[in-house]
Chain A
Amino acid sequence: MPEYHEEDLPEEAVDYHRIIKSLIEELEAVDWYNQRAAATDDPTVQGIVEHNRDEEIEHACMALEWLRRRYPAWNENLETFLFSEGDITELEEEEGEENENSEGSSSLGLGDLK
């Protein structure tokens, strides 16, 4: 398919692509509905498109969670930036300092062995 940049991709990469594409499409839809809500003068139209926009946000979050559960880099970055406070651009630096220190945050990563 033209959307792929490589041939003979393993199934895991194809699924990864499916979710990334879904995430992109959901976020585009969020943007479109948000623009329609901002543009309309009819409050009933506004109510519907705002509802639709928020549904798409839910779908985008599901895709993000799928990525987070499977890929440590997504997990690590979402943990660093989501539900945080203060200057967002400084969070990455603080995370780096914590890792360097390696006290308390370090483990063998065993967790659940089921």
Chain B
Amino acid sequence: MTLLNRSLAPITDEIWEVLDEEARDYLSLQLTGRKIVDVEGPLGSDFAAVNSGRQTKLESPVEGVQMTERKVLPLAEIKVPFTLDLNELEAVTRGAEDIELDNLLEAADKVIAAEDGAVFKGKGAEHFAGIINKAEFNLNISDKPQEFIAAAVEGINNMKNAGVGGPFSLVLSEDIFRVLFSSPDSGYPLHKRLGDIDIEKVIVSPLMESEGLLLSARGEDFKLILGQDLTLGFEERNGSKLEFFFTESFVTRVISPEAAVYLN
């Protein structure tokens, strides 16, 4: 585990609070996967792997002895460095409220791309399947509300026929969301029609590119398992520049591919 070295940073607890709060507010607004999948943990920075329940056969070491080894899913660890100006941070102690933290937010965007990229697209470790890659159903969608609803109904029927119940969640790319929700309603608002077919949550993800996911929100189908939850650490000082980083460790799992419909 990466050492956080927070006590080594030449800044006060008050400044740490400002940095933590800014990061927390931004990430809780922008992270998408955690609003959809089940989050387990944080299980601690010493948590290294998740049991898959599976095993592989090894070569027999001694005649008459069968040996197997357990297969586990190791956690991946990310680290995203960024630089902040010490003079700017010191302004916090003088009462400044408009601190320049663009670099922190840019780094947070990379964190979001990494975490949500792993959840939705399986980016990163080989054993990150990604919900989009594993989704059992695939449907073409239209940007016309009426046709979109028809596709959503078909998707839900597919899941129900596979034994997957609701409620359901919808993750959409920004362009599809904008077109759908700015189209004139034919007498009945789109969000109410989605509610009528048991879609209780619609989330926009910057990670999606003219695509979407329709997922069961019944639980236990998709998981983000955290070792060390997202946190800020301190790397080093270079003159008036302070090097910080975001870090976390996690593994993603798609347990029920039949609980996902890829929309494109």
Q: Decide if A2 is an interface residue (CB 8 Å cutoff).
A: no
Whether the Cβ atoms of A103 and B3 lie closer than 8 Å is yes
Determine whether A86 belongs to the interface, using a CB cutoff of 8 Å to chain B.
no
Interchain Cβ contacts within 8 Å, total number = 59
Q: Does B154 contact A (CB under 8 A)?
A: no
Question: For the complex, what is the distance from the CA of A110 to the CA of B24, rounded to whole Å?
Answer: 7
- The minimal Cβ–Cβ distance linking B111 to chain A, given in whole angstroms, is 10
Tell me whether A114 and B42 are in contact in the complex, defined as CB-CB below 8 angstroms, given that A103-B3, A106-B231, A107-B230 are known contacts.
Answer: no
Q: Can you name the residue of chain B whose Cβ is closest to the Cβ of A104?
A: B45
Binary interface encoding of chain B residues 29-50 relative to chain A, with 1 for a CB under 8 A from any of its CBs, else 0: 0010011101101101110000
How many residues of chain B get a CB closer than 8 Å to chain A's CBs? 29
Q: How does the 8 Å CB contact mask read for A99-114 relative to B, with 1 for contact and 0 for none?
A: 0111110111111111
The yes or no answer to B87 lying at the interface (CB within 8 A) is no
Neighbouring B residues of A102 by C-beta, 8 Å: 4, 6-7
Question: In the docked arrangement, what's the CA distance between A114 and B217, Å?
Answer: 10
Q: Does chain A have a CB within 8 A of B75?
A: no
Residues of B near A100 (CB, < 8 A) are: 7
Task: Tell me the complex Cα distance, A106–B44, Å.
Answer: 10
Which of B6, B39, B46, B229 interacts with A108 by CB under 8 Å?
B229
- Listed A/B pairs (26) with beta-carbon separation below 8 Å: A103-B3, A103-B6, A104-B1, A104-B4, A104-B44, A106-B231, A107-B231, A108-B20, A108-B229, A108-B230, A108-B232, A109-B24, A110-B27, A110-B28, A110-B31, A110-B34, A110-B230, A111-B41, A111-B42, A112-B39, A113-B28, A113-B31, A113-B34, A113-B39, A114-B34, A114-B35
